[in-house]
């Protein structure tokens, strides 16, 4: 209790004693004297009230009020019921005196008890001496009962609670005079209580605002874009974390600086300094976007391509009070864009290359075919033999290249069927490693899940990787190939889905790939080889991606490279795999109809097949083929086999020709032939009514094998 207040109280007590004294000794007091005394007493109450008013903490105010009231009316106990916001309950928010502890946390409905009556009626209540007893139907006070004195506390907007004295100290009853004093006191302190309440609410609002501010600041700082705000003078107020990173200036250094000095932007091409965007926003009051090709130069000189925009910050009255600048680093995006551009260019190049490759392929048919024929007619001891072999080898390389180009130019989706990678891998490796000094070891589980692949394309993938591995080990060595089932792709690499995958690992022990090159190896035309095309890995990547797969590369320190391929696995049961038995070309016997629009192809086929002993008729179009086939059948010398080119410009292609022939002669055996090894018909020839498929350019061995097999069926 502060000293001042104590003094006031002492004075009150003194006055009270005097008052009592007057009452006892003087039955009559002069009205003037009584008035003077009362005034003095009231003045003291006012002073105590002032001490209460200067306090702002609500609970402290209430405690102080209860204590003071108890002293003023000399009560055993004083409690302070306060109404809740809905005004349907009251709670004892403070209590002093005897049994005060029992009141803690008690809450009652507004219609309960004497307090309830006072709060409802907003009237004081004296349960005591002879005074008028307001609750009429209830019995009035009698000597021996506890007396009670209650007054309402009224705020600016009505009742807020009450003051309740329970039991007069030393027994007996509260008096009307007590009632007057307590009412005066209540009137004074209710404002203090209300103020403290408001103050507390305000504090809560302020702390909410502060929390909100904190949250906004955190949000702003963690936003993914750079954000800088500036005041009307163009000076930096706030700069978030990303902006700190991009500009190289910290919030501390930047605050208060003119924007110009921390946000240094130039035109990428002219390298001329750009106009200060904040100044532009402030002068125009409009949102602005930044010109393309803007380079932000950081404090340390780092240059970044950025995209940004500026906007005015307005207050409630819509006056411009500053500007906010939002920007982001698009250097990466730009890189990707140029990457995409490269791919697009490549695609159009692919279309072009494909066109050329197609013709080129037909020419190769002639060259390879004639070479095969020439060597077949020559004894291996002949001087010309090795020369022709060299020419054949070179032609085969050219054929490989054309095949890459064709895959590329087709660009389309792979034609998939259920297959096992085991076969694809073994076949491709055997093919590539023939006659090489490199060996291959396999670790492939027997139960490797099947995959849905275009086997032609996937063979190319494996071949490309194995060829690169061979190139990496010019002295020879071992390539390790391992496969595994992966139940959940995501566990292995974040780019994969949750689904199961088949993992294929191809490892060589070559020189490895320099770290600065490893990002480039999939780029088209990137090669470190004298005779390289730089297309192998590009095609590989494109095929794997088109199969919804993923390819990764790792170069090992001690030398060696690992390529890893992930392909979506099919984990349902595979229908019994079909494998084609190899047939060796024997002395041919039978009549074959060859349909191709290119003369060189027809000539080569004719040469190869007659060389093998078959009887050949060749035609240039599908219509002719149908005609010849039917005629021969009618004449009793039917064809045993038809080889039909799939693409005939401006005429009936192989598929239509086959359908037409089958219409009248469903038993006819027809082989599809095409320069596009990944033509969907080639991959799935049976579905289109063919008994076999043979890729152009023909190699004698291959052509004869297919022909012999189909003839035998």
Partner 1 sequence: MEVTREIDVTGRICPGPLIAVAKEIRRLDAGALLRVTGDDPLFEETILEFCREGNHVVIETKREGKRVCIVLQRSTVS
Ligand X SMILES: Nc1ncnc2c1ncn2[C@@H]1O[C@H](COP(=O)(O)OP(=O)(O)O)[C@@H](O)[C@H]1O
List of residues contacting ligand X (CB under 6 A): 464, 468-469, 472, 508, 510, 513, 521, 526-529, 532-538, 561
Integer Cα distance of 702 and 711 in angstroms: 14
Identity of the residue, 145 or 331, whose beta carbon is nearer to partner 1 in the bound complex = 145
Integer Cα distance of 81 and 116 in angstroms: 9
Partner whose footprint covers residue 636, from partner 1, ligand X, none (CB < 5 to 8 Å by kind): none
Partner whose footprint covers residue 127, from ligand X, partner 1, none (CB < 5 to 8 Å by kind): partner 1
Beta bridge partners of 692: 671
Integer Cα distance of 666 and 659 in angstroms: 9
Identity of the residue, 113 or 638, whose beta carbon is nearer to partner 1 in the bound complex = 113
Partner whose footprint covers residue 119, from ligand X, partner 1, none (CB < 5 to 8 Å by kind): none
Give me the least distance between CB of 528 and ligand X, in Å please.
4
Identity of the residue, 135 or 205, whose beta carbon is nearer to partner 1 in the bound complex = 135
Integer Cα distance of 1 and 383 in angstroms: 127
Identity of the residue, 561 or 655, whose beta carbon is nearer to ligand X in the bound complex = 561
How buried is residue 475: exposed, middle or buried, by Cβ count under 10 Å (0-12/13-18/19+)? exposed
Give me the least distance between CB of 404 and ligand X, in Å please.
9
Give me the least distance between CB of 169 and partner 1, in Å please.
14
Identity of the residue, 39 or 138, whose beta carbon is nearer to partner 1 in the bound complex = 138
Identity of the residue, 132 or 475, whose beta carbon is nearer to partner 1 in the bound complex = 132
Give me the least distance between CB of 175 and partner 1, in Å please.
16
3-class DSSP state of 675: coil
Identity of the residue, 478 or 664, whose beta carbon is nearer to ligand X in the bound complex = 478
Give me the least distance between CB of 349 and ligand X, in Å please.
15
Partner whose footprint covers residue 533, from ligand X, partner 1, none (CB < 5 to 8 Å by kind): ligand X
Binding site for partner 1 (CB under 8 A): 99, 102-103, 106, 108-109, 111-115, 117, 127, 135, 138-140, 142, 144-148, 166-167
Identity of the residue, 75 or 594, whose beta carbon is nearer to partner 1 in the bound complex = 75
Identity of the residue, 83 or 242, whose beta carbon is nearer to partner 1 in the bound complex = 83
3-class DSSP state of 688: helix
What is the CB neighbour count within 10 angstroms for residue 170? Answer: 7
Integer Cα distance of 189 and 195 in angstroms: 10
Give me the least distance between CB of 178 and partner 1, in Å please.
15
Partner whose footprint covers residue 112, from ligand X, partner 1, none (CB < 5 to 8 Å by kind): partner 1
Identity of the residue, 237 or 433, whose beta carbon is nearer to ligand X in the bound complex = 433
Identity of the residue, 496 or 535, whose beta carbon is nearer to ligand X in the bound complex = 535
Give me the least distance between CB of 131 and partner 1, in Å please.
14
Partner whose footprint covers residue 155, from partner 1, ligand X, none (CB < 5 to 8 Å by kind): none
DSSP class of residue 524?
Answer: T
Give me the least distance between CB of 682 and ligand X, in Å please.
24
Strands (E), 489-582: 501-508, 550-555, 561-568
Q: Which residues contact 480 (CB under 8 A, 6 or more apart)?
A: 440, 441, 443, 505, 506, 507, 508
What is the CB neighbour count within 10 angstroms for residue 682? Answer: 22
Q: Which residues contact 8 (CB under 8 A, 6 or more apart)?
A: 44, 47, 48, 51
Strands (E), 546-663: 550-555, 561-568, 591-595, 615-619, 641-645
Integer Cα distance of 297 and 305 in angstroms: 9
Integer Cα distance of 249 and 261 in angstroms: 10
Partner whose footprint covers residue 162, from ligand X, partner 1, none (CB < 5 to 8 Å by kind): none
Q: What is the dihedral of CA 95, 100, 106, 110, to 10 degrees?
A: -50
3-class DSSP state of 78: strand
Partner whose footprint covers residue 154, from ligand X, partner 1, none (CB < 5 to 8 Å by kind): none
Integer Cα distance of 105 and 113 in angstroms: 16
Identity of the residue, 87 or 138, whose beta carbon is nearer to partner 1 in the bound complex = 138
Give me the least distance between CB of 463 and ligand X, in Å please.
10
Partner whose footprint covers residue 146, from ligand X, partner 1, none (CB < 5 to 8 Å by kind): partner 1
Partner whose footprint covers residue 167, from ligand X, partner 1, none (CB < 5 to 8 Å by kind): partner 1
Partner whose footprint covers residue 568, from ligand X, partner 1, none (CB < 5 to 8 Å by kind): none
Give me the least distance between CB of 425 and ligand X, in Å please.
16
Partner whose footprint covers residue 20, from ligand X, partner 1, none (CB < 5 to 8 Å by kind): none
Residue 617 parent element (H or E): strand 615-619
Partner whose footprint covers residue 389, from partner 1, ligand X, none (CB < 5 to 8 Å by kind): none
Residue 603 parent element (H or E): helix 599-611
Contact 663, 656 (CB under 8 A): no
Give me the least distance between CB of 145 and partner 1, in Å please.
5
How buried is residue 250: exposed, middle or buried, by Cβ count under 10 Å (0-12/13-18/19+)? middle
Identity of the residue, 203 or 556, whose beta carbon is nearer to ligand X in the bound complex = 556
Give me the least distance between CB of 394 and ligand X, in Å please.
16
How buried is residue 255: exposed, middle or buried, by Cβ count under 10 Å (0-12/13-18/19+)? middle
Give me the least distance between CB of 527 and ligand X, in Å please.
3
3-class DSSP state of 100: helix
DSSP class of residue 591?
Answer: E
| Residue facing ligand X at closest CB distance | 536
Q: Which residues contact 556 (CB under 8 A, 6 or more apart)?
A: 512, 562
């Amino acid at each position: 209790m502060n000293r001042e207040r104590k003094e006031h109280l002492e004075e009150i007590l003194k006055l009270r004693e005097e008052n009592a004294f007057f009452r006892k000794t003087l039955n009559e007091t002069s009205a003037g004297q009584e008035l003077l005394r009362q005034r003095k007493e009231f003045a003291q109450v006012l002073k105590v009230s002032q001490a209460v008013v200067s306090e702002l903490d609500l609970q402290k105010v209430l405690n102080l009020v209860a204590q003071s009231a108890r002293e003023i009316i000399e009560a055993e106990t004083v409690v302070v019921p306060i109404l809740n916001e809905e005004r349907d309950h009251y709670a004892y928010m403070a209590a002093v005196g005897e049994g005060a502890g029992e009141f803690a946390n008690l809450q009652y409905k507004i219609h309960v008890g004497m307090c309830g009556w006072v709060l409802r009626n907003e009237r004081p209540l004296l349960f005591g001496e002879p005074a008028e007893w307001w609750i009429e139907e209830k019995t009035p006070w009698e000597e021996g009962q506890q007396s009670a004195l209650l007054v309402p506390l009224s705020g600016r907007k009505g009742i807020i609670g009450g003051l309740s004295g329970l039991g007069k100290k030393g027994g007996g009853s509260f008096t009307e005079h007590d009632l007057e004093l307590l009412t005066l006191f209540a009137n004074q302190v209710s404002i203090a209580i209300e103020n403290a309440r408001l103050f507390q609410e305000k504090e809560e609002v302020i702390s909410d605002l502060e929390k909100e501010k904190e949250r906004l600041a955190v949000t702003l700082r963690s936003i993914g874009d750079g954000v800088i705000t500036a005041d009307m003078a163009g000076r930096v107020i706030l700069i978030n974390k990303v902006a700190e990173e991009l500009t190289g200036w910290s919030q501390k250094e930047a605050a208060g600086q003119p924007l110009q000095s921390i946000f240094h932007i130039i035109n990428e091409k002219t390298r001329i300094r750009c106009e200060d965007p904040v100044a532009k926003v402030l002068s125009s009051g409009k949102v602005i976007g930044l010109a393309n090709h803007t380079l932000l130069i950081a404090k340390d000189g780092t240059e970044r391509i950025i995209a940004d925009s500026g906007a005015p910050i307005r207050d409630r009255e819509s006056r411009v009070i500053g500007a906010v600048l939002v920007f982001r680093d698009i250097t990466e995006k730009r890189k990707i864009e140029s990457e995409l551009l490269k791919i697009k260019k490549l695609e159009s190049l692919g279309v072009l290359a494909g066109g050329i490759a197609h013709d080129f392929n037909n020419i190769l048919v002639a060259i390879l075919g004639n070479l095969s024929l020439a060597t077949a007619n020559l004894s291996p001891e002949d001087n010309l033999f090795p020369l022709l072999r060299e020419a054949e080898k070179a032609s085969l390389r050219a054929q490989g290249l054309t095949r890459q180009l064709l895959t590329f130019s087709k660009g389309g989706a792979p034609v998939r069927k259920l297959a096992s990678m085991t076969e694809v891998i073994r076949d491709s490796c055997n093919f590539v490693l023939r006659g090489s000094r490199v060996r291959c070891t396999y670790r492939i589980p027997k139960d490797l899940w099947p995959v849905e692949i275009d086997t032609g394309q996937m063979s190319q993938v494996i071949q490309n990787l194995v060829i690169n591995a061979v190139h990496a080990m010019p002295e020879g060595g071992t390539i390790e190939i391992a496969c595994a089932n992966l139940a959940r792709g995501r566990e292995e690499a974040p780019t994969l889905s949750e689904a199961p995958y088949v993992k294929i690992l191809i490892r060589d022990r070559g020189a490895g790939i320099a770290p600065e090159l490893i990002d480039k190896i999939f780029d088209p035309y990137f090669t470190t080889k004298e005779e390289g095309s730089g297309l192998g890995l590009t095609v590989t990547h494109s095929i794997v991606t088109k199969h919804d797969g993923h390819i990764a590369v790792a170069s090992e320190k001690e030398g060696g490279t690992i390529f890893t391929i992930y392909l979506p696995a099919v984990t349902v049961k595979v229908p019994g795999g079909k494998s084609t038995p190899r047939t060796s070309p024997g002395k041919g016997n039978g009549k074959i109809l060859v349909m191709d629009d290119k003369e060189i192809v027809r000539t080569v086929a004719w040469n190869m097949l007659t060389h093998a002993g078959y009887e050949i008729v060749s035609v240039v179009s599908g219509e002719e083929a149908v005609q010849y086939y039917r005629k021969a059948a009618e004449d009793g010398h039917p064809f045993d086999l038809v080889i039909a080119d799939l693409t005939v410009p401006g005429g009936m292609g192989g598929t239509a020709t086959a359908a037409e022939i089958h219409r009248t002669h469903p038993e006819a055996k027809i082989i599809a032939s095409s320069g596009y090894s990944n033509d969907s018909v080639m991959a799935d020839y049976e579905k289109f009514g063919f008994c076999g498929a043979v890729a152009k350019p023909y190699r004698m061995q291959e052509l004869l094998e297919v022909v012999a097999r189909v003839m035998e069926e």
